[in-house]
Amino acid sequence: MPVIRYSQAIRDAIAEEMRRDKDIFVMGEDVETMGGVFGCTKGILEEFGHDRIRNTPISEAVIIGAGVGGALTGTRMLVEMQYVDFILHAMDQTINQAAKVRYMTGGKAILPLVIRAQQGSGRGNGAQHSQNLEAIFCHMPGLKVVMPSNPYDAKGLLKTAVRDNNPIMFFEHKVLYNTTGEVPDGEYTVPFGKADIKRVGKDVTIVATSWMVLKAMEAAGILEAEGIDAEIIDPRTLVPLDKDTIISSVKKTGRAVIVHESHGVCGIGAEIAFVINELAFDWLDAPVKRITSAQAPIPYSRKLEQLTIPSTEKIVSGVKEVLNRS
């Protein structure tokens, strides 16, 4: 299969879906000629024109509000937030409108709206451009939450999202855009609610999201050299969450470590840990371990930033802790 960048996988998914369905419309800040701040829509304008892709004002409330309106009137809306941090300016449009329309109309209205947002640290962008906010949206009924960790999943999950009749929060990590992976030329989609077992193992289950999947894989290589066999699960979608795959793995290994970049307090790791305790408690040989970012704003200093977020070394240490090995 061809090897392409994560950003190219996003771009290809958008273009392929726009060719397939004339009712898809793309909008966001600088999405036309610039292709968005990370270039994921570059070249779309030349093929589809201004009637199907449009720059917006610097107003997140307008972008998502227009996305909701467009979706309600029959257009499949694909909108981009340059940074997830700024979606906080549009929480009413996202949480009180997009998330609730189908419920409040008794299912009569559909809302085919995908909100793509870049999030995460690793670039020294500072406290207001480095957050991971997925837990906020997981908490809100009516929203689906997607976090692809590689190009294959990014393309397949985005195509699934565009075809869905519900509002989708599609979170792309900024560090992942330049990562590469195999992506088939032919048509494919990745289903929501189906986790991917990135690595099979027998000693401990590591559940990791987004960029942390790559760090978990690095940690697994280090652990393997020390005789520890880790199984790594990437949920891919947090809502819906594939509980069955996680629970099946934990029942096999007897231990679980959860790794995510957002803060620990009320983060998605807390929900996954509770699911494990609720459904696999009798199979646990040690308490569930969470590895998250510190409960502090992300520093601008690159060195301080790296100390704040999960690292490969912290994952290795966490796994050894649940295995009672030094």
47 part of a folded domain: yes
Instruction: Clarify whether residues 217 and 288 are in a common domain.
Output: yes
- Burial of 187-208, coded b for 16+ CB within 10 Å and e otherwise, reads eeebebbebbebbebebbbbbb
Instruction: Tell me the average pLDDT across 149-165.
Output: 98
Contact (Cβ atoms closer than 8 angstroms) between residue 168 and residue 193 = no
pLDDT reported for residue 311: 97
Instruction: Clarify whether residues 19 and 123 are in a common domain.
Output: yes
Query: What are the residues facing 258 on neighbouring strands?
Result: 207, 290
78 part of a folded domain: yes
187 part of a folded domain: no
Instruction: Clarify whether residues 142 and 239 are in a common domain.
Output: no
* Residue 146, φ and ψ in degrees, nearest 5: -125, 135
Instruction: Clarify whether residues 171 and 203 are in a common domain.
Output: no
pLDDT reported for residue 111: 97
Instruction: Clarify whether residues 175 and 26 are in a common domain.
Output: yes
Domain count, the chain: 2
pLDDT reported for residue 216: 98
137 part of a folded domain: yes
Residue 228 clears pLDDT 90, i.e. is over it: yes
234-to-99, 163, 217, 249, 267 alpha-carbon distances in Å? 25, 22, 11, 12, 16
74-to-130, 202, 222 alpha-carbon distances in Å? 34, 49, 51
Instruction: Clarify whether residues 201 and 178 are in a common domain.
Output: no
**Domain containing 16 — which CATH number?**
3.40.50.970
Instruction: Clarify whether residues 234 and 167 are in a common domain.
Output: no
Does this model's pTM top 0.85? My answer is yes
Instruction: Clarify whether residues 66 and 138 are in a common domain.
Output: yes
pLDDT reported for residue 37: 86
96 part of a folded domain: yes
Instruction: Tell me the average pLDDT across 148-176.
Output: 98
Q: Taking all residues of the chain, what is their mean pLDDT, rounded to a whole number?
A: 96
Domain that residue 11 falls in: 3-182
**Domain containing 257 — which CATH number?**
3.40.50.920
Instruction: Clarify whether residues 132 and 245 are in a common domain.
Output: no
pLDDT band at 82, cuts 50/70/90? confident
Tokens found for residue 303: 């060195």
Tell me the pLDDT tens digit for each residue of 165-217.
Answer: 999 999 999 999 999 999 999 999 999 999 999 999 999 999 999 999 999 99
Instruction: Clarify whether residues 141 and 220 are in a common domain.
Output: no
Residue 33 clears pLDDT 90, i.e. is over it: no
Of 121, 147, 182, the last residue of a domain is: 182
Instruction: Clarify whether residues 246 and 298 are in a common domain.
Output: yes
Instruction: Tell me the average pLDDT across 113-139.
Output: 96
Of 182, 213, 246, the last residue of a domain is: 182
Tell me the pLDDT tens digit for each residue of 276-317.
Answer: 999 999 999 999 999 999 999 999 999 999 999 999 999 999
Instruction: Clarify whether residues 178 and 204 are in a common domain.
Output: no
189 part of a folded domain: no
Active site residue 129: yes
Instruction: Tell me the average pLDDT across 60-81.
Output: 96
Instruction: Tell me the average pLDDT across 38-67.
Output: 95
Give the torsion sign (CA, 8, 263, 276, 251). Answer: positive
- Type of residue at 247: I
274 part of a folded domain: yes
pLDDT reported for residue 162: 98
In percent, how much of the chain has pLDDT > 90? 96
pLDDT reported for residue 326: 42
Residue 126 clears pLDDT 80, i.e. is over it: yes
Identified catalytic residue from 89, 129, 139, 260: 129
- Burial of 67-81, coded b for 16+ CB within 10 Å and e otherwise, reads bbebbbeebbbbbbb
81 part of a folded domain: yes
Percentages of the chain per state (helix, strand, coil), in multiples of 5: 40, 20, 40
